[in-house]
Structure 1
Amino acid sequence: MGYQVSWLLENRIMLIKYDGVLTKEMLHDYLAESMDLRDKANAVLGEGGPLIHTITDARGMTKVDLPPSEAMKQINYVRKQRVGWTIYIPAGKLDNLFASIGHQIAGVRFRSFPNLTESIKFLKEVDNTLPEFSYTENTLELRPVDHA
């Protein structure tokens, strides 16, 4: 399986995309990479600064080859980080159920949506500290805020 971790909106919204089979090793690597990015962003934003949200797009995931006990071990690492909303775009209904349960156990804010557009719309509604921006597939446009 492959994955990609990147910033959708620098230091504010992380975008993770899965492709193929999710394995124990891949989960470990992906979490380490995303937690490192989040730690660096939290350092830039400062203590008490705005939260960093994550959108995970799992629509390209074809199978989960991961013992539940291993997934539970990884959840404990996430609990130790300061995180915003976690948005999940599931590969299917069963995937969505397990993701929801895992995130509830981790104690993080969680929602799922069918696509990136609805995910971003939700984040804009719940976090008024996000800068004004628009997103179309693979294109981010920051818009200046009119303070008048």
Structure 2
Amino acid sequence: MPVQLSWYLENRVILMVNHDGSSDQELLELDQPVINYLNQSNASLVHLIWNNNDSKYMPSINATKALQFPKHPQFGWTITVGLNNPLQRFIVAVANAFFKSRVRMVNTMDEALDFLNEVDGTLPALRDNVLDKAS
């Protein structure tokens, strides 16, 4: 599957990795699985890191507006990683305005992890989590 969804940090941070070849339909098919992740967590906020480093795809505005998970009461920040195309950044800005959501665009995964640690003091050190996963 061109888009992979998993826990980065169990019940707190979802990782969505967008590989080349993704489509609006594939994004829409991930809507319910993301909602399922949110529903299974007992945390007050669950954040999403959307890693686009390996992709040139960006969802259309219509597909983005059709998503339900950004409206979920437990949904926290969306951190998009690797959006260098100005059109992609514009679409994210439009989606942000539509959902009135918390979105941050960064260049690297380290920046994403550092930002989440800054805005959510209840999270453990996320970079340490990467080291724990590797061992």
Bin of the TM-score, shorter chain as denominator length: 0.7 to 0.9
Structure 2 CA distance for aligned equivalents of residues 6 and 59 of structure 1: 17
* Contiguous gaps of at least 5 residues in structure 2: none
CA RMSD of superposed structures (Å): 2.3
Instruction: Please give the residue correspondences for 1:1-148 in structure 2 after superposition, counting only pairs within 5 Å.
Output: 2-41=2-41, 45=42, 49-64=43-58, 67-74=60-67, 76-89=68-81, 90-135=83-128, 139-141=130-132
Structure 2 CA distance for aligned equivalents of residues 31 and 12 of structure 1: 17
Structure 1 CA distance for aligned equivalents of residues 98 and 26 of structure 2: 21
TM-score (norm 1): 0.76
User: 1 or 2, which has the higher helix percentage?
Assistant: 2
User: 1 or 2, which has the higher strand percentage?
Assistant: 1
Matched-pair contact (CA < 8 Å) for 2:6–2:14? yes
Greater Cα radius of gyration, structure 1 or 2: 1
Opposite residue 71 of structure 2, the aligned amino acid is R
* Contiguous gaps of at least 5 residues in structure 1: 143-148
**What stretches of structure 1 move > 6 A for 4+ residues in a row?**
none
Per the alignment, do residues 85 and 69 of structure 1 end up closer, same or farther by CA in structure 2, a change over 3 Å counting?
closer
Per the alignment, do residues 93 and 135 of structure 1 end up closer, same or farther by CA in structure 2, a change over 3 Å counting?
farther
Opposite residue 73 of structure 1, the aligned amino acid is A
Moved more, 120-129 or 96-105: 96-105
Structure 1 CA distance for aligned equivalents of residues 63 and 72 of structure 2: 17
